[in-house]
């Protein structure tokens, strides 16, 4: 089957190919070969005499130079024609090629042949019938992609199973498969008594494994919500969240609900259409994590299972759920493209501050409105919270840019700790080293800047470890540090009280010290 037919209209095929202008004229009737006459007239109701066999090596049905009218036959019984014409096997096609009637601009398409396909214009022929019956045209109405179904007219006489029936079936199947992507199997059906061809989908009910994308999505969607957050003036936007516990807490991004923090309005809508009013329990601008709680939460909430983002590997499959551009309950797939990607994101609003993360990078399609939605692994466990994208115009952010395959999610291990603190106290808790660092690129690390009092917090973790202004931090535990944002993102993946190993350069020499992380409460 030629791929040239996929998605292309097949015009009706005439009963006999038209004669080419270059084809020599048919010889006079007297010069044409005549098969030997039968020894005796055929008996009543006897079939007409069969055509002479086609010589070996020639196509089964040649293209005659010109149609010849059928001889008259008595109404009572068919009779053999006096001299039925025998098409010249050498005419109508170049040497070494199958017969294919040429197409002219002023003539209908006459069964153009594609490589690997039989000659479509020569179809089923009842024994003894002359001229051959017309092949039903498997065309359609309205153009490819239109709403009209394929039309399959009934031929003038019943068609028998054979090569012609198979050709018609293959043509229809090619059009259907090409139009819907070519990925659906089909069955080749024979011709029914009326001569119409039936194409049936390969059958039975579809079984989807629980760990398939469809299975994971079906289990996770009922536990995701579309969030609408507005300030007191009615301004705001939409985002996504997911059920965190049975008490009605929903985890999302801070920038999704930031507009509604002060006397605003928040609603959460589940995929079944049920909408609930909600309130902001707590939000962490630096982490870009927030928690809302449903008012009058239903008793049958099913929290999503939380995975372990530390065990995620590059290449692992991912499934993202969200409401991109307001299209709720959208599911996309991809892989983990990278881990520990330092990202500073901002919603671009006036006075907005950056959020920092050591992100999971994915190529699953993420767009505005996906923010706050779960990033799932192949088992359906949450491994991250979709938060930011890299836009084609450059820069990280959450503005109205489209996906280019560079999405970033907050690791769930970090988000879980933040969410639990917000539920418990309403305020975020940040780990810190107690030093101010540059936020520019090209430093080769995170350089401690400022005077002796402002650069290093007196009595803080960095001070106790002996760090000084001018030191350049190049590693945090086993992670390379190339800038201030990268350092902050790594610090915030830890909890206050964690012990880490810092590597820094001073006066061209590399040194390593142990630091116990301190804590800071709130965003100010």
Catalytic annotation, residues: 255, 288, 371
Half-sphere exposure of 266 (CA within 13 A, CB side): 29
**Phi, psi for 229 (deg, rounded to 5):** -125, 130
Long-range contacts of 135-140 (CB under 8 A, 24+ apart): 135/13, 135/15, 135/164, 135/168, 136/168, 136/195, 136/196, 137/10, 137/11, 137/12, 137/13, 138/10, 138/168, 138/171, 138/172, 138/175, 138/197, 139/9, 139/10, 139/11, 139/12, 140/9, 140/175
Is-contact 503 512, C-beta < 8 A? Answer: yes
The closest of 241, 305, 244 to 267, measured between CA atoms, is 241
Is-contact 10 117, C-beta < 8 A? Answer: no
SS3 254: helix
The closest of 478, 339, 494, 487 to 413, measured between CA atoms, is 494
Q: Torsion angle of alpha carbons 158, 161, 164, 165, nearest 10°? A: 90
Is-contact 298 270, C-beta < 8 A? Answer: no
Structure tokens at 257: 């609900």
Neighbouring CB atoms inside 10 A of 218's CB total 14
Question: What is the longest distance spanned by two Cα atoms in the chain?
Answer: 125
Sign of the C-alpha dihedral computed for residues 56, 57, 61 and 63 taken in this order? negative
Burial class for 181, CB neighbours closer than 10 Å (0-12, 13-18, 19+): exposed
Is-contact 502 434, C-beta < 8 A? Answer: no
Q: List, in order, residues 6 or more apart from 41 with CB less than 8 Å away.
A: 79
Structure tokens at 522: 């709130």
Is-contact 292 249, C-beta < 8 A? Answer: yes
User: Is the omega angle on the peptide bond into residue 131 within 30 degrees of 0, that is, cis?
Assistant: yes
What is the Cα–Cα distance from 269 to 62, expressed in whole angstroms? 68
SS3 178: helix
What is the Cα–Cα distance from 503 to 491, expressed in whole angstroms? 14
């Amino acid at each position: 089957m030629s791929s040239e037919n996929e998605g292309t209209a097949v015009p009706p095929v005439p009963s006999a190919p038209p004669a080419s202008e270059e084809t020599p004229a048919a010889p006079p009737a007297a010069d044409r070969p005549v098969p030997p006459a039968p020894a005796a007239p055929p008996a009543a109701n006897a079939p007409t005499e069969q055509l002479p066999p086609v010589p070996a090596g020639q196509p089964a049905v040649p293209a005659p130079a010109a149609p010849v009218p059928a001889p008259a036959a008595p109404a009572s019984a068919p009779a053999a024609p006096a001299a039925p014409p025998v098409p010249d096997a050498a005419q109508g096609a170049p040497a070494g090629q199958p017969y294919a009637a040429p197409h002219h601009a002023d003539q209908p398409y006459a069964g153009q042949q594609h490589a690997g396909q039989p000659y479509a214009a020569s179809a089923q022929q009842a024994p003894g019938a002359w001229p051959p019956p017309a092949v039903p045209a498997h065309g359609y109405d309205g153009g490819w992609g239109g709403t009209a179904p394929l039309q399959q007219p009934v031929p003038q006489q019943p068609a028998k199973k054979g090569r012609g029936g198979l050709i018609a079936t293959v043509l229809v199947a090619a059009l259907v498969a090409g139009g819907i992507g070519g990925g659906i199997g089909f069955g080749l059906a024979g011709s029914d008594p009326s001569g119409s061809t039936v194409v049936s989908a390969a059958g039975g009910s579809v079984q989807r494994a629980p760990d398939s994308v469809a299975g994971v999505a079906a289990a996770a969607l009922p536990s995701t919500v579309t969030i609408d957050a507005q300030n007191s003036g009615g301004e705001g936007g939409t985002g996504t969240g997911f059920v965190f516990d049975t008490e009605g807490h929903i985890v999302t991004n801070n920038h999704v609900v930031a507009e509604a923090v002060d006397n605003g309005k928040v609603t959460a809508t589940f995929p079944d259409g049920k909408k609930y009013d909600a309130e902001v329990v707590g939000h962490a601008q630096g982490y870009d994590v927030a928690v809302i709680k449903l008012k009058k939460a239903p008793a049958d909430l099913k929290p999503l299972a939380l995975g372990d983002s530390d065990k995620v590997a590059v290449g692992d499959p991912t499934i993202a759920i969200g409401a991109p551009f307001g299209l709720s309950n959208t599911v996309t797939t991809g892989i983990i493209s990278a881990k520990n990607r330092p990202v500073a994101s901002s919603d671009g609003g006036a006075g907005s501050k950056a959020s920092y993360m050591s992100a999971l990078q994915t190529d699953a399609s993420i767009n505005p409105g996906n923010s706050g939605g779960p990033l799932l692994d192949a088992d359906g466990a949450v491994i991250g919270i979709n938060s930011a994208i890299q836009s084609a115009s450059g820069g990280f952010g959450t503005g109205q840019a489209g996906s280019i395959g560079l999405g970033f999610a907050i690791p769930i291990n970090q988000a879980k700790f933040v969410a639990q603190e917000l539920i418990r106290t309403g305020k975020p808790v940040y780990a810190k080293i107690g030093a101010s660092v540059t936020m520019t690129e090209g430093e080769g690390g995170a350089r401690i800047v400022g005077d002796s009092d402002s650069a290093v917090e007196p009595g803080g973790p960095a001070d106790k470890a002996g760090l000084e202004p001018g030191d350049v931090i190049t590693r945090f535990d086993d992670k390379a540090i190339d800038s201030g944002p990268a350092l902050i993102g790594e610090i915030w993946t830890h909890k206050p009280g964690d012990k880490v190993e810092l590597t820094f350069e001073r006066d061209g020499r590399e040194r390593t010290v142990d630091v116990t992380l301190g804590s800071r409460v709130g965003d100010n």
